[in-house]
Amino acid sequence: MKNLDKEFMKLAKRNKLKRRLITIGISILTTLVILSGLGIWRSSYLQEQNKKVSEMVNIYSEISAPNTVSTITGTSQGLLSGSYTLSSYKNLDGIPVPLGTRDINYGFSFSNKMWWLAVGNEDYVPGGTIENISYREGQKRPQFYQISLADAKIIGTKESFPQEIKKLEQVSDYVSEVAITFDKPYTYREILKMVPDNLLLNWLSLSRSVDATYYESYPIDIGISTTINTYSKDGIYYDDENGSSVKLNQREVLSLPGDAGSNGIVNDGMYSDFVAAVKRSIDYDANDETRIELSNGDDFYPYRDAVKQVKKYPKLDDATFSGIILSGRNENFKQLQNKSWIAASSIGATTRYFSYLPTTK
Q: Residue 39 falls within a domain, yes or no?
A: no
Contact between residue 223 and residue 63 where contact means Cβ atoms under 8 Å apart: yes
Separation CA 256–CA 253 (nearest Å)? 9
End-to-end CA gap in the chain: 109
pLDDT of res. 217 = 55
Cβ-in-10-Å burial (0-12, 13-18, 19+) of 120 comes to: exposed
Among 67, 68, 97, residue whose Cα is nearest residue 357: 97
In a domain, 251, yes or no: yes
Q: Is residue 16 part of a domain?
A: no
Tally the domains of the chain. 1
Rounded to whole angstroms, the Cα distance separating 279 from 193 reads 29
Res 213: pLDDT: 36
Which domain covers residue 263, as residue numbers?
114-352
pLDDT of residue 111: 55
Residue 127 lies in a domain: yes
Residue 271 lies in a domain: yes
* Separation of alpha carbons 162 and 346, rounded Å: 7
Domain-located, residue 107: no
Under-50 pLDDT residues of the chain? 121, 123-132, 149-158, 212-215, 230-263
Given strand 123-127, what is the order of strands in its sheet?
A: 123-127, 131-136, 139-140
| Residue 196 falls inside a structural domain | yes
Q: Which amino acid is at 355?
A: S
Residues 6+ apart with CB under 8 A from 53: 104, 105, 106, 110, 112
Q: Is residue 163 part of a domain?
A: yes
Residue 176 is predicted with a pLDDT of 95
